[in-house]
Structure 1
């Protein structure tokens, strides 16, 4: 059954299955059809997210175990709800004492039956797996190693010993193992197993192997067959060797259950049509919804004021396109150096074995790998070695990218190596395991490169409008016109009507309400600049650099609704994470304590100040923009809840929800009101959700989407559409600019017919006629949800 709406609960030891069950009556009353649970399988003890799975055969004991999950499912069923579960096929935790498969590989080496579980380049490690787990060089740590029976211990870490080696002196014992214990810094250049992005603690899993698939999906599929789980959310499909084949196998095994994938689409990139899924989890929708409330002219002016204030240049984000390219070079040559080296080794071996290719020098092949990786315009190419190269796959490495990559070569004659690498990446040079491995690993490395360079670096280097810096977004062009939004929704309704839509997730860097507040700055960039002047005048501490100050002040304004006592506790870790991810003055691996201390001192005295002139100035500014923030918040919420697709609500976001990057946005869900959703946003959410549940023929896969047009001088300030001829959504956009220009001034919205129509958000208000005046429609609130009289259903009467 396709959900009408899902509600994401972030499970963790402080919020187990029993706590989720306690929230079920409230969530059923809210109007969702399914609970969306974060990963439920056994994970590293204490994990607050569950993506570090250690045992695919058990439901996580810290959450209540399998019986706790089944009891939650029973409680949900009693209230008319189903369960959708997040699954993690790409990776698992590289903690040997918890991960039995990895333990056996380390004990038995390449001959272990579990060796097929992981992508390990045994040759690169001299027959050993590098484990970069030591705090310092092995020579400094050797004294902390001790043998305990058949186990080697290092602090709390445990490693299996190869049979017959426990009696050896420690230096010889280390040499005798199927693994090499090493300093954590070696991971960057020496790692020889596939990992999740740059996180060596998460080892990639080869689910393309049928036996590995069966072993890692057995418990989840059992829960599906038993009716405990009704749908699936697939984490990070870009990391898989062959996503299309995996999803086809999963769909067959799960009986075609509703499944969405966490696939990040770039720009107009389509979801591969051959994927056996209902669609994405909704980052593509998030970008389009957010963009509706960004003023393009004001965004351009804000960029100019950012450049004047922060003086960004080079790596410091003076231009979005160049910022991404510089970040990509950094990631490919530094963070992903080991992965780039593997691709180079494969390319060298392939060329050495082909008389027509063997004159390509190793350095040229390495350069070609690097230059193409930094230019892949999407997250990954979808090509399969040995299969025909599709047009969609070719577009992921188009001729323009190849020409640009060749231009980076100082010796033009060597640039033909780019053609070789492109053909290998697209599977066009078929034959042999190395060629198949190159095609697969290039795609997997490209996705890691894109994620790290864009999401985890460029987003923190280019910060004129931080609300635009969200996964799937385009900070270089943050605004989305109504026509562009309508075109997106038309495609969604036609091609992926049961795809997910989202506004806030466990991975968003800022919650939707924070982003909605910051987006208003594009409508008043001059006032924002004046505020910065005032804040600098009254702040007792100086920021370590102007770029950080700009970012910090926008963050503080976006969180202006937080109680003063919470500001420091929430802002400081988020901004420290920002400067470390940016990697300009400090980083996770090479921290600069003095710089970070300057950051925390500035944040405490300025953006996070709980009282005094700084706080007064921020609150005064926020107060002047409150009504325009309200229009953005309500507008975004109503659009998501009524557009094509299945809306996914993140825990607590039906009310005002202020959250920054994880772990701030993964705090336990504790506050389910006993009397249902409250406040204007909560009431709007409940009405829309109940309407979706009661009118599936209007919003479901057979429903239609029709753009509606406004006429008059302020027509651009309205977005409106009709679902299946029965329900009209209308919202106000760019409301500050609207007010400055004199309001609606006779602008009218054309309705599908004469009606009569009633506003479900204010059931006493009815409209008849082919048009309605915008000033009348939005007299009470900046949004409206119209339904034909007599078709309102219980949602309107709730």
Structure 2
């Protein structure tokens, strides 16, 4: 039987919030009504990791969090508090840090490493200089210049050797040590050392698939180094001779260059990563290398500890990070399900509008970005958004065609950040064309251009065609055909037959070994194209209403009708009733309360338009030349509205990140100091301008109450709609944080405990509303709804029918309402700034007596005035009382 949570609470663990700190909030979370702690990844990560996604050892618990002992106490404390646990796991990649002994072994031994099959590395790059080598793009300048400045050195301690650049260390290939050790043997006149050097030079070089030879080589290597260790301990003269040989090597740049060329890696200028990297990464992060988790032995080795915890009941489920990076996500989920049949499994799958989660994946659902975006659009007023978009276009002179912007940004990241990935795909497709006489004359340049165009035209993160099946499914077939047709229309300069042939390969109509490999790798590629082009670029450039710019969003699609909202969640109840519903995550661009406040802009677009013009005129004096540009200025004002009050420090750090992500005036890899200095100065000055601040505070004051009502509405929907509600740490009261690292700050749990105690002791809705500024109303909604779910899980489960309730009257479109299991009625307003009075608007409740758990009021079924239901508290949660 599946161990499905009733609710989750996300905790971000790191060195400043350890297992001990998390244990300390267990009682509070149980009192709040939470059923499961939802932990960020806590397998051993790189030192200092603030998120846990850069795992270096999947077989150990992170020592910085408290290690195995701390983890045991944490799990025991959760159990004592009556809490289950969900863990975020990372199957797609590992960190390339020296603490990663598997990666270190690969760098040392190349294709002969015991772990070479773990990582997604192309050992046969077309460039001879990269054959059987891993590019390490870390140097601050051209390799030769760095070498001549003595910044790369060989170090050793007895028998242990390594290369060093700045604070980066790399192992030395055993066979290459024959050179310095032979010279050292001559200096020491030591036959044993000479024997060791000869033995290292004769180590075989099998590839990773010759398992028996690889293990034999490893055994011999271990014995040789043990012998060297003993020799160094017994004869200090040997160490002195090795010191001398290594010192001479470091002083001779030609010799050092030749020695480094014998390694299984190539130290290179950091910019080379854009075009020459030979391994699959997590997006464009060079320090996160892709895993071949589709291989059974890799799956077992990287999942053994987590599967043990699931089997033992330490964990009830897992959240799977970035499944779209996997070679075959369905296969992965089937294998995970086979090993953990009772686990609750959700996937960080980003669904685009009109895209559904694959029904043949044996999982409970997504991590909730789809829910977030439906709520986001529900609160936006369509007509007001249209006016705001016109204001944006007039003020900034920027394009308001989001699709065009997305295509442009995707193409840009493919040219720059993801150039290495394009080149590897192009090499594969060249091979395919070479094997087909009708296609062999397509040039590599043409293929690269076609590849980029097709990838940029995909409307979703990826397709899921698996070579070996008869054909692509209808969903994938349609997506591929659509992308191919768009690509042909965009690039009339390229032979349309090339696009058609590429489409045949992607749809598995043209088959073969190379075709299958290309198809699988292309599907892994379109996900980072979407993530980097849209999430991390376009959503910082297209800014009419920035609250709509979220992961998986389509900000150009506008508002959402009540009918569309209800149709969607009726479908969710049927297909994935235990999916995760969230309003904020560690990756969201803005917290739920920031978005809720920004949505109010669409209810009064005229005020926004006039204020924007007034602020721009008043603050023009603080610009430095043309900086900041109008798009950045527009973005800044909306950010201030959504987050006010915000410190200059937080705002400046966020704006630096946002503008670098946008890549319009500056970027992470090519920083425009003039622009960034001007932006910092502009922020400093407007935050010192009393005139501007008074006007801003007046503007925000007018939006604060409707923004908070929006927050209560979407919170109630999260807690009662089909799915499992999740609360991001600290988000149980008003939370005005921005994208990480802003949303990873310290949470004041002492204040939250005090607030919760006041609710537990009993208080009236009027008293709660008098404490509006503290966030008490939001805490009240969460507390009451979570306890209701705990007491009556059957009212929110797979069999709990979802039935829309439609209001009647002049304000009918302002009410979002539905029934669950015929026992619970949730009622939430939207567009409250435009609402005025409910003006006779009513809703039909099923017959019987109903009690509002937020106010204690009772009401009889039948036609009921909405104004009466929402008179004492902004949202209502009614339960059917038994006779």
1:363-512 mapped onto 2 (5 Å cutoff): 363-395=445-477, 397-411=479-493, 414-432=495-513, 434-512=514-592
Give deviations 1:211-238, integer Å, cap 9, x for gaps: 1111111111122222211110000000
Give deviations 1:450-492, integer Å, cap 9, x for gaps: 0111100000110010000001111101311111110110111
Measured after TM superposition, the shift of residue 356 of structure 1 is: 4.1
CA distance in structure 1 between the partners assigned to 2:704 and 2:882 by the alignment: 35
1:532 to 596, 599, 612: 612
Measured after TM superposition, the shift of residue 790 of structure 1 is: 4.6
CA distance in structure 2 between the partners assigned to 1:789 and 1:531 by the alignment: 49
Aligned twin of 2:840? 746
Aligned twin of 2:131? 126
1:360 to 442, 456, 469: 442
Give the 3 Å change call, closer, same or farther, for CA 671–140 of structure 1 in structure 2. Answer: farther
1:111-122 mapped onto 2 (5 Å cutoff): 111-122=112-123
Measured after TM superposition, the shift of residue 276 of structure 1 is: 1.4
2:13 to 4, 11, 14: 11
Measured after TM superposition, the shift of residue 537 of structure 1 is: 4.1
Retained in 1: the 8 A contact 2:480–2:507?
no
Segment drifting more, 15-24 vs 615-624: 615-624
Give the 3 Å change call, closer, same or farther, for CA 201–396 of structure 1 in structure 2. Answer: farther
Aligned twin of 1:618? 696
CA distance in structure 2 between the partners assigned to 1:72 and 1:616 by the alignment: 48
2:628 to 544, 548, 559: 544
Aligned twin of 2:244? none
CA distance in structure 2 between the partners assigned to 1:322 and 1:179 by the alignment: 40
Measured after TM superposition, the shift of residue 391 of structure 1 is: 2.6
CA distance in structure 1 between the partners assigned to 2:715 and 2:726 by the alignment: 11
1:6-405 mapped onto 2 (5 Å cutoff): 6-95=8-97, 97-124=98-125, 125-142=130-147, 143-149=150-156, 150-166=161-177, 167=180, 169-313=255-399, 318-395=400-477, 397-405=479-487
The DSSP-based 3-state class of the residue aligned with 2:9 is strand
Structure 2 residue runs of 5 or longer lacking an equivalent are 181-248, 250-254, 757-774
Runs of 4+ residues deviating >4 angstroms:
none
Measured after TM superposition, the shift of residue 395 of structure 1 is: 4.2
The DSSP-based 3-state class of the residue aligned with 2:502 is helix
CA distance in structure 1 between the partners assigned to 2:303 and 2:39 by the alignment: 17
CA distance in structure 2 between the partners assigned to 1:52 and 1:784 by the alignment: 43
2:792 to 684, 692, 695: 695
1:755 to 829, 838, 848: 848
CA distance in structure 1 between the partners assigned to 2:496 and 2:137 by the alignment: 35
Give deviations 1:502-555, integer Å, cap 9, x for gaps: 101000010000000001000111101121233234435125111111100000
CA distance in structure 2 between the partners assigned to 1:468 and 1:782 by the alignment: 23
Retained in 1: the 8 A contact 2:472–2:507?
no
Measured after TM superposition, the shift of residue 408 of structure 1 is: 3.0
The DSSP-based 3-state class of the residue aligned with 1:335 is coil
Which structure is larger by alpha-carbon Rg, 1 or 2? 2
1:564-713 mapped onto 2 (5 Å cutoff): 566-606=646-686, 609=687, 612-672=690-750, 673-675=752-754, 677=756, 679-713=776-810
- What is the TM-score when the length of structure 1 is the normalising length? 0.95
Retained in 2: the 8 A contact 1:381–1:426?
no
Segment drifting more, 611-620 vs 181-190: 611-620
CA distance in structure 1 between the partners assigned to 2:313 and 2:850 by the alignment: 40
Give the 3 Å change call, closer, same or farther, for CA 610–134 of structure 1 in structure 2. Answer: same
CA distance in structure 2 between the partners assigned to 1:70 and 1:702 by the alignment: 36
Retained in 1: the 8 A contact 2:46–2:54?
yes
Aligned twin of 2:227? none
Aligned twin of 1:779? 871
Retained in 2: the 8 A contact 1:692–1:699?
yes
Structure 1 residue runs of 5 or longer lacking an equivalent are 792-798
Aligned twin of 2:214? none
Measured after TM superposition, the shift of residue 398 of structure 1 is: 4.0
Segment drifting more, 674-683 vs 61-70: 674-683
Give deviations 1:629-661, integer Å, cap 9, x for gaps: 122011011011100000111001110111001
- What is the TM-score when the length of structure 2 is the normalising length? 0.86
Retained in 2: the 8 A contact 1:38–1:86?
yes
The DSSP-based 3-state class of the residue aligned with 2:487 is helix
Retained in 2: the 8 A contact 1:381–1:396?
no
Measured after TM superposition, the shift of residue 72 of structure 1 is: 1.1
Measured after TM superposition, the shift of residue 357 of structure 1 is: 3.2
CA distance in structure 1 between the partners assigned to 2:378 and 2:335 by the alignment: 38
CA distance in structure 2 between the partners assigned to 1:171 and 1:400 by the alignment: 50
Segment drifting more, 776-785 vs 161-170: 161-170
Measured after TM superposition, the shift of residue 94 of structure 1 is: 1.2
Retained in 2: the 8 A contact 1:225–1:254?
yes
CA distance in structure 2 between the partners assigned to 1:358 and 1:708 by the alignment: 62
Measured after TM superposition, the shift of residue 436 of structure 1 is: 2.1
Give 1 or 2: higher helix fraction.
2
The DSSP-based 3-state class of the residue aligned with 1:146 is strand
CA distance in structure 2 between the partners assigned to 1:345 and 1:152 by the alignment: 31
Segment drifting more, 138-147 vs 26-35: 138-147
Measured after TM superposition, the shift of residue 101 of structure 1 is: 1.1
Retained in 2: the 8 A contact 1:368–1:415?
no
Give deviations 1:226-284, integer Å, cap 9, x for gaps: 22111100000000000000011111112330010000001111111111110000100
The DSSP-based 3-state class of the residue aligned with 1:730 is strand
Retained in 2: the 8 A contact 1:29–1:676?
no
The DSSP-based 3-state class of the residue aligned with 1:397 is helix
Give deviations 1:761-790, integer Å, cap 9, x for gaps: 101x11113111111111122211111125
Aligned twin of 1:796? none
Give deviations 1:600-652, integer Å, cap 9, x for gaps: 1112222xx16722221111111122221122011011011100000111001
Give the 3 Å change call, closer, same or farther, for CA 271–107 of structure 1 in structure 2. Answer: same
CA distance in structure 1 between the partners assigned to 2:146 and 2:444 by the alignment: 36
Retained in 1: the 8 A contact 2:849–2:861?
yes
* Number of residues of Structure 1 aligned to a counterpart in Structure 2: 773
Aligned twin of 1:788? 880
Give deviations 1:80-123, integer Å, cap 9, x for gaps: 1001000000011111x111111111111112221111111112
Retained in 2: the 8 A contact 1:195–1:202?
yes
The DSSP-based 3-state class of the residue aligned with 2:439 is coil
Give the 3 Å change call, closer, same or farther, for CA 400–225 of structure 1 in structure 2. Answer: closer
Retained in 1: the 8 A contact 2:844–2:861?
no
CA distance in structure 2 between the partners assigned to 1:489 and 1:323 by the alignment: 30
CA distance in structure 1 between the partners assigned to 2:292 and 2:92 by the alignment: 8
CA distance in structure 2 between the partners assigned to 1:273 and 1:49 by the alignment: 30
